[in-house]
Structure 1
Amino acid sequence: MHDLRTIRDDPEKFDAALAARGVGQAASRLLALDEKRRDITTRLQQAQGRRNEASKAIGSAMREGDTETADALKAEVADIKEEMPQVEAREREIGAALSNELASLPNLPAIGVPHGEDEGDNEEIARWGSPRDFAFSPREHADIGPALGMEFETGAAMSGARFTFLRGDMARLHRALAQFMLDRQTQDNGYTECNPPLLVRDEALFGTGQLPKFADDLYRAGEDHWLIPTAEVSLTNSVRDQIVSDLSQPIRLTALTPCFRSEAGAAGRDTRGFIRQHQFEKVELVSICRPEDAGAEHDHMVASAEGILQALDLPYRKVLLCTGDMGFTAKKTFDLEVWLPGQNAYREISSISWCGDFQARRMNARYRPEDGGKKTAFVHTLNGSGLAVGRTLVAVLENGQQEDGSVVVPPVLSSYMGGREKLVPHG
Structure 2
Amino acid sequence: MLDIKRLRDDRDGVVAALDRRGDSFGETIDRALALDARRRDALTEVNDLKARRNAVSREVGTRKRAGEDADDLIAEMREVGDAIDALDAAAKEAETSLHDLLLHIPNTPLDEVPAGGEEANRVVGDGGAEPAFDFTPKPHWELGEDLGILDLPGGARVSGSGFPVLRGAGARLQRGLINFFLDRHVERNGYTEVRIPYLVHRSAMTGTGQLPKFAEDSYHIERDDLWLIPTAEVPVTNLESESLLEADRIPLHLTACSPCFRREAGAAGKDTRGLLRVHQFDKVELVRYERPEESRAALEDLTRQAEELLTDLGLRWRRVLLAGGDLGFSSALTFDLEVWAPGVESWLEVSSCSVFTDYQARRAGLRFRPAPGEKPEYVHTLNGSALALPRTVAALLETHQEADGSVRIPEVLQPWVGMDRIAVAS
Shift of 1:226: 0.5
| Pairing of 1:83-102 with structure 2 (within 5 A) | 83-102=83-102
Q: Does 1:263 align with 2:267?
A: no
Q: Does 1:422 align with 2:386?
A: no
Which consecutive unaligned segments of at least 5 residues does structure 2 have?
Answer: none
- In structure 2, what residue type is equivalent to 1:111? D
Counterparts in 2 of 1:214 and 1:265: CA distance versus 1, 3 Å: farther
Query: Hey, what does 1:34 align to over in structure 2?
Result: 36
Secondary structure in structure 1 of the residue aligned to 2:326: coil
Distance 1:317 1:259, change over 3 A: same
Q: Which residue pairs with 2:247 in the alignment?
A: 246
Which residues of 2 match residues 122-137 of structure 1 at below 5 A? 122-137=121-136
Alpha-carbon distance between aligned partners in 2 of 1:197 and 1:223, rounded to the nearest angstrom = 15
TM-superposition CA deviations, 1:364-384 (whole Å, max 9, x none): 2111112x4441111100011
SS state at 1:83 partner: helix
> What amino acid sits opposite 1:191 in the alignment?
Y
Match of 1:351 in 2: 352
Q: Distance in 1 between matches of 2:247 and 2:374?
A: 14
Could you say what secondary structure the match of 1:299 adopts? helix
**Pairs within 5 Å for 1:281-300:** 281-300=282-301
Q: TM-score, normalised by structure 2?
A: 0.96
Of residues 409-418 and 321-330 in structure 1, the stretch that sits farther from structure 2 once superposed is 409-418
- SS of the residue 2:112 aligns to: coil
Q: Structure 1, residues 372-398: CA drift from partner, whole Å, max 9, x if none? A: 444111110001101002221111111
Counterpart amino acid of 2:112? G
When structure 1 is superposed on structure 2, of 5-14 and 47-56 the one drifting more is 47-56
Residue 88 of structure 1 and its aligned partner are, at CA, apart by 1.9
Report the Cα distance in structure 2 between the residues aligned to 1:196 and 1:52, rounded to whole angstroms: 52
Determine the structure 2 residue equivalent to 1:140: 139
1:355 and 1:403 map into 2 onto residues whose CA distance is: 45
- 2:57 is aligned to 55
Runs of 4+ with deviation above 4 angstroms = none
SS of 1:32's equivalent in the other structure is helix
Equivalents in 1 of 2:3, 2:391: separation in Å?
A: 37
Q: Give, in whole Å, the separation in 1 of the partners of 2:140 and 2:50.
A: 70
Deviation of the 1:264 alpha carbon: 6.3
1:177–1:413 CA contact under 8 A, matched in 2: yes
Structure 2: how far apart are the matches of 1:226 and 1:417?
33
Q: SS in structure 1 opposite 2:109?
A: coil
Shift of 1:15: 1.1
- AA paired with 2:60? I
1:172 — aligned with what? 172
Letter matched to residue 52 of structure 1: N
Aligned with 1:138: secondary structure?
coil
How many pairs does the alignment contain?
422
CA pair 165-276 structure 1, distance change in 2 beyond 3 A: same
Aligned to 1:333: 334
Aligned counterparts of 1:366 and 1:381: Cα–Cα separation in 2? 11
Q: Cα offset for 1:231?
A: 0.6
CA offsets per residue over residues 293-337 of structure 1, 9 Å max, x none? 112211110011011111111110011111111101111111110
Q: Secondary structure at the match of 2:325?
A: coil
Aligned match of 1:303: 304
Deviating more after overlay: 18-27 vs 195-204: 18-27
Partner of 1:111: 111
RMSD (Å), alpha carbons: 1.5
Given that residues 281 and 390 in structure 2 are in contact (C-alpha distance below 8 angstroms), is that contact kept between their aligned partners in structure 1? yes
Q: Do structure 1's residue 189 and structure 2's residue 159 form an aligned pair?
A: no
How far 1:116 moved relative to its partner? 1.4
Matched residue, 1:81: 81
Partner of 1:277: 278
Tell me which amino acid in the other structure corresponds to 2:167: R
**Residue type of the partner of 2:323?**
C
Gaps of 5+ in 1: none
What is the deviation of 1:94?
Answer: 1.0
Distance 1:220 1:35 in 2: 36
Structure 1 residue 207: deviation in Å?
A: 0.7
Q: What does residue 407 of structure 1 align with?
A: 407
Using structure 1 for the length normalisation, give the TM-score.
0.95
Residue 153 (structure 1) aligned with residue 169 (structure 2): no
